[in-house]
Structure 1
Amino acid sequence: MKLQHFKMKESGLNRFFGPLEAKIMDILWDGKEHEAELSIKDVQQKLEADKQVNFNTVMTVMNRLVEKGFLEKRAAGRTSLFQPVQSKHDFLNNQSKELTHELMEEFGPLAVSHMLDELEDVDSALLEKLEEKINLLKKGK
């Protein structure tokens, strides 16, 4: 799934989704870990732990997430059941990969330089992984 919007000033899933979309995706990803498809009513009830959210609003947002390709929808009688197209891990992996690609395309050496500057506070296991990757690249993969 190609990166559509990335909001620098937000955090977490709000970088990719609107606030309600992010909450809905989190609920569905949590359900997916338990192999569950959820109805609009299920999601609305889980959202109500925070505040009252109108059923029609939840339905509209979930259907838009289907249109955008983030959710799958299937009919079960008169109820629609939803589940994410990919796991949260896969989504974040794909989005970070796409973002990295875009940064490299646009800024190349500057992006690498800034990423290296950020390594000062990283754990040693990540540094070792980076060193292994660099050595493989030097050897021609």
Structure 2
Amino acid sequence: MKIKKFNVGTTGLDRFFGPLEAKIMNVLWDAEHPLTIKEVQQSLDHEKSLSFNTVMTVMNRLVEKGALQKQMEGKSFHYVPLESREDFLDHQSRELTHELMEEFGSLAVNHMVDVLEEVDPKLIQALEDKIRQWKNNG
């Protein structure tokens, strides 16, 4: 799934999805099996009253975006994420990093290294290890 919009200034899945889309994706990722629209609606119902049609519209939009798969089981459709939360975040962060490098090159690298020190100095060691591994394989 290729995300076309990245929401700067938000956190978590809200960076990639609208707020309701992110909540729906979390419900489906936390489920151990595919869910119907009604089941998702009921899982979200504690937050605010959402109509079946609203949840259905958003879930079908997520199918169109390539985040969910819709499958007929019995007399109703069940929805399941096309990839795990971990794989989704891995793919999206990789794609975002690739785009930053293509567009901003060394500026992006410099800022990433600066942020590594601010966030967690141990990440510098992880970066050095990765560079060493890359050089040994190249």
TM-score, reference length from structure 2: 0.93
Rounded Cα–Cα distance in structure 1 between residues aligned with 2:114 and 2:65: 36
What is the aligned partner in structure 1 of residue 98 from structure 2? 101
Higher relative contact order (CA 8 A, sep 6+): 1
Deviation at 1:138, TM superposition (A): 3.1
- Segments of 4+ moved more than 2 angstroms: 126-129, 136-141
Rounded Cα–Cα distance in structure 1 between residues aligned with 2:99 and 2:45: 37
Choose from 75, 79, 82 the match for 2:72: 75
What is the aligned partner in structure 1 of residue 13 from structure 2? 13
Contact 2:113 2:124 in 1 (8 A): no
Letter in 1 for 2:17: F
Deviation at 1:3, TM superposition (A): 2.7
Letter in 2 for 1:21: E
- The DSSP-based 3-state class of the residue aligned with 2:72 is strand
Deviation at 1:130, TM superposition (A): 1.2
What is the aligned partner in structure 1 of residue 27 from structure 2? 27
The CA deviation string for residues 72-120 of structure 1, in whole angstroms up to 9 with x for no partner, is 1111122110000000000000000000000000000000000111122
Gapped runs of 5+ residues in structure 2?
Answer: none
Rounded Cα–Cα distance in structure 2 between residues aligned with 1:10 and 1:122: 21
* Root-mean-square deviation over aligned CA pairs: 1.3
Letter in 1 for 2:30: D
Deviation at 1:140, TM superposition (A): 4.9
Letter in 1 for 2:113: L
Deviation at 1:136, TM superposition (A): 2.6
Contact 1:3 1:99 in 2 (8 A): no
Contact 1:38 1:81 in 2 (8 A): yes
Count of aligned residue pairs for this structure pair? 137
- The DSSP-based 3-state class of the residue aligned with 2:53 is helix
